[in-house]
Amino acid sequence: MKPIYLVIQAFGPFAGRHVVDFRHALDCGLFGIYGSTGSGKSSIFNAMTFALFGEAVKEKVDNASLRSHHAAPNLPTQVEFVFAIGDHQYRVARSPEQERPAKRGGGTTSEPHRARLFDVTGKPAEALNDEAPGSLIAEGKVRDVNLKVEALLGYKAEQFRQIVLLPQGRFETFLTADTSQRMGILRELFDVSLYRSITERMKERADDAEKEVRRQRDVCEGLLQSAGFTGMDALAIGIEEARKNVELKLEELTACKAQGAAAFAALQTAAQQDKSFQQYAAAISALNGLKQKADAFAVKRERVSSARKAQTLVAFDDQVRIEQKGVADLAEALANARALRSAAEKNYADREKAHALLAGRKDEFEQKRVRERDLLKHRETLLGTAAHRDELTSAIAALDATNTTLDAGTRAATRARDEALRCQNALDAERGNQVQRAGLRASIAGLNADLTAALTFETKSREIATAKAGLTRQTAAFDDASRSLEAAKAAMTDAESALFRNHAALLAGRLIDGKPCLVCGSLHHPSPAEGGDESERVAADYESAREKLRVAQDHYDRASVARATAQAHHAQIARNLAELKAPAQASTQLRDTLQAAEASLKKLGVDRDLAVLEATLGKAQAAVAKADSDIEAARQARDAAETCKALANQRLEQALTSIPNDLRNSPALDRAIDEAKRAIQQYDASLRAAEEAKDKAKEAFIAADRDATNAESNLAEARRKLAAAQSAFDEARAAAGLSPEAYQASKPFIASIEALEEDIRRYATAVAIASEDVRKAEEATKDLNRPDIDALKKAHDGAEQAQKFADEACHDARHVLETREKLQKDVTARLRHVEKLEAETAPVRELARYMSGKDGAKVDLETFAIGAMFDRVLEAANARMRPMTANRYTLVREPETKGAGRKGLGLCVDDIYTGRTRPTSTLSGGETFIAALALALGLSDVVESTNGAIRLDTIFIDEGFGSLDADNESGTLDRVLTALHNLAGQTRAVGVISHVPLVRQHIPNGFEIVPAANGSMIEARF
């Protein structure tokens, strides 16, 4: 960051507006800011820090105290700072929270903290102001501006004080800090989040591995306990017992299977005999069913005979239908031909009549031909009057010109009078408006002050309501969390009791009379606990209750903190509201009134010069007099033109006496001639068309009459053929012996003759088969008694049930054996996995312990990484310190061994005079200043070289030079100033704030702060 231009107004000891132009100072490289104690040198630092970060150099300083006590009440406190980062320049403008005089009435009103940030790259700093501020980056919320500035710079206010601005006494803090304090400063300057993240992930992996080992061991113990075994030895004994039980159950199952096989064979034999009796009964039933259908099949045989006869008559019937359709089609054709003949006859009569009517109008159109000849004669007469028309046209044009001149003069006079009236009205209105504007401006000023006060009060009122609602929500949340915590504690107590009871039951299951109890050692067990078969569920319930209790406690703690925060917030807002006075009107009413007043003022416009308006009125009145004179001259010219027009018109009328009035112009006459010609031509064309239409209609009538005669003869022939076909059909039906009704009844069955015959054949076959089945069934059941199937089946079911029970018992025994063997296998595998897991994760857990700083050195990975950066800082600092101490002192890291806190960033000084290291606290005041200055400069060098986002083009050093020796003693001050000269000439500009005369002699360029009774002044010295 490079400072360019600083504007201070009503800030600290500076009462007015002062400018600090750093551009000349930056060219010098090393410059000073001088003045007596209390003159305001450090206030320049304050102004820069406040402009960038919204806070003073010293922490916990109220920004309201930054206002100058020397400033006029109506001059606001504000700071503008133009700074450069690389090739870009930025301007930040701020004003702190402050009181200003109220616009209405007495007292003051509060102005909030305001901030704005602009990009001013390529713009001259001295030309920037509120009218030309630059390109806006952020405004409104102060926090948004702060975040933008911090993003541009790459550091916050605390780091700004450490590496850019080195205020009085502050940069020595880093020199004397312990590891934790120094860690907090360096962590913000150097990005070591990667090492912290690696440590956290490694610790999480180690913790997860440890938890997994414990969980796996708990699972193994729970699996054994849930199966009723105290350990792996007891499980082995249980497996042997289960194996013997399986062998016994297999022997019982073999015996049951033999009994079941015998019962099944007896049942099968009886079932075969019973099947023969069932078949005999079924055959008798089937034969009787077929005999009941005999009558129906007799009807089918009769239906087949009739259908065969009807089948021979189908061809005759089809021919009759064909001839009937032909007669119907020809009858329809005859009707159509007769209709066409009638239409053609009527059309011929109509066309003949139309031709006669047109021929009757021949005399009428002969008269039209006579009129056409008369109109042509009128055209010749009209062409002879062209000279008279030209004379009249010229006279009319002259009259129009005079009328135009008169109209223009009249309009000009009207405009002149309107302009004079407007000027008079404008003068009168402006005189009244100026009185109204003065009153409105005074009213607006008062309304603005009232509106600001009302908005502040309403904002605080809304804040107290919001805070109260938040307090209510947080109180309700706290009550809910309290109840949840109590419920979780009760559930935890119940789950813990259940766990203890289950453990007692498990131990009771292992008690043996005469042997001591594992808990109390008693040989007598009068009332052992019962249960213990739900170990896994009880353990899960206990873990769930414990987790719920932890969550409930965490919710309770957070709710308690949230409620306390809400209470404090509500109390603070209530105090702020109590300090405000309630407005007489709401802000909406005030805003409406203000807007109405502003609208009225805007509607009145800006003030106008009354002298100018009066001069304009005089000019308008002179223009009215000139316009009246021009009108009189135009009237005389118009009267002369009207006389000329009347004479020319009289001569033209005499020449046109023979032509009717409506035909005295060429267009009208031409239209009349065209209309006459067009009427004659249309008549001749219509007469010819009527003759042609009459001839065509006659030909069409003759053709239609011929077609109708042919249709009549065709219909007579078709009717003769139909009578012959009907006679042939009747003769064939009589020969077949079928009446018309019988033929129609048999006709539908012709298509199903073959299907009916097939049904009859299948029926006869089925009767024969059923008779044979009855015969065979009688022979099969001869000399046999029907067996008792139910009794044999009951015996078989009993044997089957016994075998099932034996099989289930055998299966259960195998399941017990398999379950115990699987349990043995699973637990053994889990234990091997646990041992393997412990061996595999041992390096991870050990590495996590070292990376977390839990070893003897107590240096975690993040501290180690920062320590590496700190070594670079010390290397850079010693490069500055050795020349300033004549190579006597070197800063080195000190191993910290005492205390339980974080270690690794201790600092001491190596004294070449004694050959030993000693604490930095043993340095004198001047030595401490040199060491702290060297450390700050080294820190700046390393920060800029390692963090590309941070540019330290300029640093400032505030005081401390008074503690150094002068030239007539050890010359320490000379060496320090020489080092600063070298620093400024190499990489950056350095600003020094001091009141020591010798410093001013070495660094003459800079700024002088001159104190005065009414506020300090800033003078540039270059």
Q: Find out whether 935 and 175 touch, Cβ atoms under 8 Å.
A: yes
| Residue ranges per structural domain of the chain | 2-154+949-1021, 182-189+859-948, 191-307+749-856
Q: 165-166 and 135-139: which strand pairing?
A: unpaired
Q: What is the pLDDT of residues 144-190, one digit of tens each?
A: 999 999 888 887 887 777 677 765 555 567 777 777 777 777 776 66
> What whole-number distance in Å separates Cα of residue 345 and Cα of residue 913?
152
pTM of the prediction?
Answer: 0.40
H helical segments located in 737-786: 740-746, 753-780
Tally Cβ neighbours within 10 Å of residue 445. Answer: 12
Compare 1017 and 507 and report the one with higher pLDDT: 1017
Per-residue DSSP letters for 42-81?
A: HHHHHHHHHHHHSS-SSTT--GGGGB-TTS-TTS--EEEE
CA angle 69, 73, 74 (to 5 degrees): 140
Q: What is the pLDDT of residue 90?
A: 95
> Which amino acid is residue 984, in one-letter code?
A
> What whole-number distance in Å separates Cα of residue 163 and Cα of residue 840?
47
Level-2 CATH architecture, domain 2-154+949-1021: 3-Layer(aba) Sandwich (3.40)
Q: What is the mean pLDDT of residues 131-151?
A: 90
- Give whole-number Cα distances, 230 to 238, 496, 510, in Å: 11, 21, 8
> What whole-number distance in Å separates Cα of residue 853 and Cα of residue 867?
14
Taking the CA atoms of the chain, what radius of gyration do you get in angstroms? 63
Query: Using CA atoms in the order 820, 822, 825, 827, what is the torsion angle rounded to 10 degrees?
Result: -70
Q: One fold for both 2-154+949-1021 and 182-189+859-948?
A: yes
Q: Is the pLDDT of residue 512 over 60?
A: yes
- Give whole-number Cα distances, 268 to 186, 272, 787, in Å: 98, 6, 11
Per-residue DSSP letters for 814-871?
A: HHHHHHHHHHHHHHHHHHHHHHHHHHHHHHHHHHHHHHTT-SSS---HHHHHHHHHHH
Which stretch of 190-194, 367-371, 819-823 has the lowest confidence by average pLDDT? 190-194
What confidence category does residue 968 fall into, taking pLDDT thresholds of 50, 70 and 90?
very low
CA angle 177, 181, 182 (to 5 degrees): 70
Q: Find out whether 320 and 725 touch, Cβ atoms under 8 Å.
A: yes
Q: What is the pLDDT of residue 122?
A: 92
What confidence category does residue 321 fall into, taking pLDDT thresholds of 50, 70 and 90?
confident
Instruction: Please list the residues that pair with 117 across neighbouring strands.
Output: 92, 138
Which stretch of 156-165, 443-452, 835-844, 959-968 has the lowest confidence by average pLDDT? 959-968
Cβ burial 171-189 (10 Å sphere, 16+ → b, else e): bbebbbbebeebbebbbeb
DSSP-derived 3-state class of residue 674: helix
Cβ burial 61-87 (10 Å sphere, 16+ → b, else e): eebeebbbebbeeeebbbbbbbbbbee
Going by the DSSP 8-state scheme, the letter that residue 1010 receives in this structure is E
Q: What is the pLDDT of residues 748-801, one digit of tens each?
A: 877 887 887 788 888 888 888 888 888 887 777 777 777 777 887 888 788 788
In 3D space, the residue among 926, 935, 1007 whose CA is nearest the CA of residue 959 turns out to be 926
Q: 954-958 and 165-166: which strand pairing?
A: parallel
Q: Which residues contact 798 (CB under 8 A, 6 or more apart)?
A: 263
Q: What is the pLDDT of residues 11-60, one digit of tens each?
A: 989 988 999 999 888 888 888 898 888 888 888 888 999 999 998 877 66
Q: Which residues contact 865 (CB under 8 A, 6 or more apart)?
A: 192, 195
> What whole-number distance in Å separates Cα of residue 964 and Cα of residue 972?
6
Token representation of residue 514? 């005469």
Token representation of residue 872? 């670079």
Q: What is the pLDDT of residue 571?
A: 81
Q: Is the pLDDT of residue 481 over 50?
A: yes
57, burial (CB in 10 Å: exposed 0-12, middle 13-18, buried 19+): buried
Q: Find out whether 114 and 142 touch, Cβ atoms under 8 Å.
A: yes
**Residue 910: enclosing H or E segment and its boundaries?**
strand 906-911
Question: Percent of the chain at pLDDT above 70?
Answer: 90
Q: Find out whether 894 and 874 touch, Cβ atoms under 8 Å.
A: no
Token representation of residue 277? 């009796």
What confidence category does residue 529 fall into, taking pLDDT thresholds of 50, 70 and 90?
low
Q: Is the pLDDT of residue 5 over 90?
A: yes
In 3D space, the residue among 459, 457, 460, 464 whose CA is nearest the CA of residue 566 turns out to be 464
> What whole-number distance in Å separates Cα of residue 909 and Cα of residue 221?
60
Q: What is the pLDDT of residues 976-1013, one digit of tens each?
A: 777 777 766 556 788 888 877 777 888 888 999 988 87
Q: What is the pLDDT of residue 123?
A: 92
> Which amino acid is residue 168, in one-letter code?
Q
What confidence category does residue 550 fall into, taking pLDDT thresholds of 50, 70 and 90?
confident
Backbone angles phi, psi at 123, to 5 degrees: -110, 140
Token representation of residue 898? 């005492």
Per-residue DSSP letters for 603-650?
A: HH-S---HHHHHHHHHHHHHHHHHHHHHHHHHHHHHHHHHHHHHHHHH
Query: Residues in the chain, how many?
Result: 1022
Side-chain-facing half-sphere of 574: CA atoms under 13 Å: 9
Q: What is the mean pLDDT of residues 383-411?
A: 82
Q: What is the pLDDT of residues 242-266, one digit of tens each?
A: 888 888 888 888 888 888 788 788 7
Q: Find out whether 453 and 583 touch, Cβ atoms under 8 Å.
A: yes
Token representation of residue 463? 């804040």
Four-way CATH pick for 182-189+859-948: 3.40.50.300, 1.10.3720.10, 3.30.360.10, 3.10.200.10: 3.40.50.300
Q: What is the pLDDT of residues 642-674, one digit of tens each?
A: 888 888 777 777 777 777 777 777 788 788 888
Q: What is the pLDDT of residues 196-241, one digit of tens each?
A: 777 778 788 878 888 888 888 777 877 788 778 888 888 888 888 8
In 3D space, the residue among 277, 279, 288, 281 whose CA is nearest the CA of residue 767 turns out to be 288
In 3D space, the residue among 60, 56, 57, 59 whose CA is nearest the CA of residue 77 turns out to be 56
Side-chain-facing half-sphere of 48: CA atoms under 13 Å: 24
In 3D space, the residue among 7, 59, 13, 92 whose CA is nearest the CA of residue 165 turns out to be 59
Q: What is the pLDDT of residues 690-711, one digit of tens each?
A: 888 888 888 888 888 888 888 8
CA angle 996, 1001, 1006 (to 5 degrees): 85
> What whole-number distance in Å separates Cα of residue 891 and Cα of residue 917?
9
What confidence category does residue 967 fall into, taking pLDDT thresholds of 50, 70 and 90?
very low
In 3D space, the residue among 442, 467, 761, 427 whose CA is nearest the CA of residue 608 turns out to be 427
> What whole-number distance in Å separates Cα of residue 1004 and Cα of residue 723?
149
> What whole-number distance in Å separates Cα of residue 161 and Cα of residue 153?
13
Q: What is the pLDDT of residues 56-104, one digit of tens each?
A: 877 667 777 888 888 888 899 999 999 998 889 999 999 998 888 877 7
Q: Is the pLDDT of residue 969 over 50?
A: no
Token representation of residue 884? 């300033």
Q: What is the mean pLDDT of residues 676-680?
A: 81
Instruction: Please list the residues that pair with 1007 across neighbouring strands.
Output: 33, 1020
